[in-house]
Amino acid sequence: MVHGWLPETSAIEVVSPSGNCCSGMHALKYAYLSIKSGEVENAISTGSERLSRVLRADTFNEEVEQLIQLKKDPFISFEKEFLRWMLSDGAGAFFLSNKKNETGLSIRIDWLESVSYAHEKETCMYMASEKLEDGTLKGYMDFDAEEIISRSVLSMKQDTKLLGENIVHLGFDKLKTICEKRNFNVDEVDYFLPHLSSEFFRSKIAQKLIDNQMEIPAEKWFTNLSAVGNVGSASVYLMIDELLNAEKLKSGNKIMLAVPESARFSYVFGLLTVC
């Protein structure tokens, strides 16, 4: 889609990772590995969201009129309303090169690691489908037109109980194993950039890091959730951009990234060095 809006470019390789919050990081890793392998000298990765169009109240007027079930089971409303208030539009991009920036600071990617737990956990966040009792999904194509509206099939939904039980411990237990494998001590981190969908999770993550003997002091955390919201796949791009433009970074600083995705419980962690 982005390339389609850039007629001045030539024919180039394009890859579009699927997923939610992690897709921007998957794009970054593809670009990083392409350069690291020597396949290309430069690459651009992006993350972008425009969910407002499907989350506006007027989109659900007809649906709400028919969902008498909402009055009987308010929890259904919570599963959907929560997402409507926590997601924002936005976009970001990184330019990657096999050469250091000649003017100003550069940020080197030391490593990026991703993991999925879809093999052991059922779907947590989904859209255009309905979750069945056995945890599997029934897609919108298997509903008739009337059911799609009456059963709120097109709405984005989240299994909040499943989210609370798994999102923090799965990811940050994995981060511990990554750091042990790489013989990396989080005491070396100067800035910790966790992608937070809600401030609710800040204390949960902080406590989990303490439990895993990986405490990162609060003064090292950097987020901009309160200013720009949860922009999904673009959140890390926007955090790094803001941190860089705040002129806080110095050569040698270590930046740790942590991006959780609730959809099928996947995560991407990374370590960057300012140079």
Task: Average the pLDDT over each of 54-58, 87-91, 175-179, 219-223 and give the range with the smallest value.
Answer: 54-58
Most confident range, picked from 18-22, 54-58, 65-69, 205-209? 205-209
- Residue 183 and residue 198: Cα distance in Å, rounded? 31
pLDDT at 71: 56
- Residue 273 and residue 254: Cα distance in Å, rounded? 5
Task: Give every CB contact of residue 74 below 8 A, 6+ residues apart in sequence.
Answer: none
**Has residue 82 got a pLDDT over 90?**
no
- Condensed to tens digits (0 to 9), the pLDDT of residues 125-181 reads 999 999 999 999 999 999 999 998 888 888 888 888 899 899 999 999 999 999 999
- Residue 107 and residue 95: Cα distance in Å, rounded? 10
- Condensed to tens digits (0 to 9), the pLDDT of residues 173-215 reads 999 999 999 999 999 999 999 999 889 899 999 999 999 999 9
pLDDT at 161: 85
pLDDT at 151: 82
User: Residue 75 — pLDDT band, cuts 50, 70, 90?
Assistant: very low
Average pLDDT over every residue of 89-98: 96
> What is the reported pTM?
0.89
DSSP letter at 78? H
Q: Which domains does the chain have, with CATH numbers?
A: 3-51+87-124+159-274 (3.40.47.10), 58-86+136-157 (no CATH)
Instruction: Give which of 31, 38, 32 is closest to 12, Cα–Cα.
Output: 31
Task: Give every CB contact of residue 201 below 8 A, 6+ residues apart in sequence.
Answer: 167, 168
Helix (H, G, I), strand (E, B) or coil at 66: helix
Pairing of strands 254-261, 191-194: parallel
What angle, rounded to 10 degrees, do the helices at 200-211 and 160-181 form? 40
Question: Phi, psi at residue 195, to the nearest 5°?
Answer: -80, 110
Only one residue has tokens 């991009």, namely: 93
Mean pLDDT of the chain: 90
**Has residue 83 got a pLDDT over 90?**
no
Task: Give every CB contact of residue 39 below 8 A, 6+ residues apart in sequence.
Answer: none
- Residue 275 and residue 260: Cα distance in Å, rounded? 27
**Has residue 273 got a pLDDT over 50?**
yes
Task: Average the pLDDT over each of 8-17, 54-63, 83-92, 256-265 and give the range with the smallest value.
Answer: 54-63
Average pLDDT over every residue of 219-228: 95
* Two tokens, residue 122: 């059922």
- Residue 62 and residue 95: Cα distance in Å, rounded? 44
Find how far residue 51's CA is from the centre of its chain: 14
Helix (H, G, I), strand (E, B) or coil at 107: strand
pLDDT at 67: 55
